[in-house]
Every structure is written in C-alpha cells, then in structure tokens.
Amino acid sequence: MAKQHVGLIGLGKMGAPMAANIAKAGYPLSVFDLNEAVKKDVAAATGGKAAPDAISLARDCNIVITMVPDGKAVHALLIDGGLADAAAAGTIFIDMSSSDPTGTRELGKEMQARGLKFIDAPVSGGVKGAENATLSIMIGGDPAVIDECEDLLSTMGSQLFRTGALGCGHAMKALNNYVSAAGAVAAIEALRMGEAFGLDPTHMADILNVSTGRNNTTEKKLKQHVIPRTYASGFSLGLMTKDIATAVSVGKATGQDIPFAESCLAYWADALEKIGPDADHTAVVDKPKS
C-alpha cells in the first residue's frame, strides 16, 4: 500500500529533523517555511518537494503537519490563511506545535465543519529527540484518526501516548513543561544556595542525580548547560514561559486552585522581561535579582 503524501509546515530546530525522519521512512514529503533558504535546504536534504506556498502544500498532501510557534499561528495558517478551504475533504491535519488546548478544541470545530480531520500531537524530547526520532508524542483526538496517523507519528517518536479527546495532547504538553520548569527553578536555586555556602556545583549535581532531588534539569542541564554557562539546550525562555502560561490557563479553565503554578509563571515571566525571549531557558540562572 502506497504511503500517504505528507506535508510539514514549520522547519525550525524541531521541524527540520522531524521532516528528515519522515522522509527517511519513505513517505512522499512536501515542506514549507517562511524562510525560503531553510525550505530549499530541507527539501534538498530530505529529497522532498519545496512547496511554493502553504496552500499548494495543503492541496497536494493527504496529511498536513503544523510545527509552528503557537496555536494562534496555526489558526492563522489553517483558517485565516485558507489552508482548510484549499484542502480536500478528508485531509488529516496534525498540529504538533505547543498550542493552547482550548483554542485547539475551537479550531477542531472549524475543521470538522469543512469536512477535515484534525488531531493534536505535541512533542517532548528537544532537538536531540527530534534528530534521533525518540520524541515523546502526546496525542489528542478521534481514535480512528489517530489510528490512521500512528505509523507516521512513529517515524518521529519512540513513545506515543493517546491522551484523550482533542486538545488533551496540548494540555498534557503544557502541564509537562510546567512540571519541568518548576523542577528547573528548584535545581538552579539549590545550586546557587549550595555554591554560596561552599559546596562545589558539579559535586552537587552528582549527588542530586543519585538522590531524591533528581529531575530532568539535574540530569540533563546542570552540568551540560548551567554550570559551564553554555546555555545551549535548544529551548528558549520565551517558549518555556508560554507553555507555563498555557498550563496556568488550563488550571483556571478547570477551576483549580493553583498558587504554585501561578508563582512559577511569575518567576519565568520576570526572567523573560529581564533576559529576553530568545535566550536559552537554562540562562534563567543569570536572572537578575528583583
């Protein structure tokens, strides 16, 4: 059985290696990015087609993946930009961006009204996970549609989680990043306190990683990015803050009391203002005192 023609829109640090893994698995591939040079480079590297515009891609493909900054950009592409009207009935759209889950559900209604299929499938695992096809993918939507996409999603991730109805994938991604962000703050503040008291930061990281304080930051960021101050994890401060804000919006929409999440958001928002959105999120260690 011939593999479906896949289109991928958004060829940034994550999208480009994801496109490479789709092509490697033998799927016919079309790609699009606003950056013409990047689009042509990815098409050449993957053997795919550089679509002249996003609408042409939507017309040509059976499955369209969006990997763009947020849900507003997704809506701007699909509805305001005309992709949903250009695509054939039955086309599957997969939003792998980090989008607001409430907005995803509203967008799903608009897509369904046009006879289109729509699921959300955000990812975790960073650039290395994208390059190695070992991403964790959190999928929300109609199980029958997910069945149609499972083989394709498996080309990009080694762990696929069906999280529930449409929007649940985006909710899970935001909540995961909130937990990660909270752990990062605790690890970095502990490092500061310990160093000021006379502890060696590298030794602290080693101890944390075999003790109950171990978390993603202690394992993958302290010695790699924070202690040497290389700040090259590949995930920006702006994106981290956006995801925490999305998690807080999930809490408010569901009527939860979330004082710690709100405090965490305030901490990262303060860092965003002082350091800037384009800084690597691990640079939060250098956040000036309030």
Helices (H), the chain: 15-24, 36-46, 54-60, 71-75, 83-86, 101-113, 126-132, 143-154, 168-197, 201-208, 216-220, 237-253, 259-275
3-state secondary structure of 279: coil
> Which tokens sit at 16?
């480009």
- What residues act catalytically? 173
> Which tokens sit at 177?
């990043």
The answer to whether the CB of 99 falls within 8 A of the CB of 120 is yes
Q: Which regions of the chain are under pLDDT 70?
A: 1, 290
Position 286 scores a pLDDT of 83
CA dist 188 and 12 (Å) reads 28
Concatenating the DSSP letter of every residue in 230-243 gives ---SS-BHHHHHHH
Contacts with 220 (C-beta within 8 Å, 6 or more apart), sequence order:
233
> Which tokens sit at 161?
């989680």
* Length, in residues, of the chain: 290
3-state secondary structure of 140: strand
Position 11 scores a pLDDT of 97
pTM for the predicted model, two decimal places: 0.93
The DSSP 8-state label assigned to residue 195 in this structure reads H
Sequence-separated contacts (24+) of 203-207 with Cβ below 8 Å = none
Position 285 scores a pLDDT of 86
- 160: which strand partners? 137
Share of the chain above pLDDT 70, in %: 99
CA dist 78 and 186 (Å) reads 39
Angle (CA) 56-59-60 rounded to 5° is 85
> Which tokens sit at 281?
């999120």
Position 270 scores a pLDDT of 95
Position 1 scores a pLDDT of 61
